[in-house]
Amino acid sequence: MASIFATESSENPVTLIRQTLSVKPDDDGNVVASFTTNRGKGSGAQVLHFTEFREAVAVLVDAVANGIPEHKEDETLPASEVIKRTIAVEDGVVSFRVKNGKGAKPARIPLAQFAEVVALLSSTIDAVEAAGKKLSK
């Protein structure tokens, strides 16, 4: 018997962030923060320079407080600006990217869990920055 929903992930984005949030050097030696909010086809980790993490999370905090704005596509921009321009809600799911370009996959979070996810990310800002500073010495 094959499950109809075998390719869909029902993992909680808060649980996935707790499992995957890390600060590490990337292949080019840049220190990045990385986290996953969903798994499955068309998904991937959100990876951004650790120094952009605080401002990127601030954009998400603003979206929780003030709603998700309309946006346009963009060129090469900091993660916080990419989030501002790509955040959207459709069919009860909030999506955003921290990077543009080939292979950039959106984070997808059920709207009902969005505030909890953003609160979790907000609570990690100091730890991400401290880990990034330590690794980039």
pTM above 0.75, yes or no: no
- pLDDT band at residue 10 under the 50/70/90 scheme: low
Q: Are 48 and 33 in contact (CB under 8 A)?
A: yes
- DSSP β-ladder status, 107-110 and 93-96: antiparallel
In the chain, the amino acid numbered 6 is A
Q: What is the pLDDT of residues 41-76, one digit of tens each?
A: 778 899 999 999 999 999 999 999 999 877 555 457
Query: Which pLDDT score, from 0 to 100, does residue 108 have?
Result: 93
* 3-class secondary-structure state, position 98: coil
- 19 conformational bin, left if phi > 0, alpha if psi -120 to 50, beta if neither: alpha
Residue in the structure block whose two tokens are 């649980």: 15
Q: Which whole number is the average pLDDT over 112-127?
A: 94
Q: Which is nearest to 83 in space by CA: 22, 64, 91, 92? A: 64
Domain ranges within the chain, ordered by starting residue: 13-135
pLDDT at 116 over 70: yes
Query: Which pLDDT score, from 0 to 100, does residue 104 have?
Result: 83
Into which CATH architecture does domain 13-135 fall? 2-Layer Sandwich (3.30)
Tell me the β-bridge partners of 93: 90, 110
Give the Cα separation of 95 and 76 in Å (integer): 19
pLDDT at 83 over 70: yes
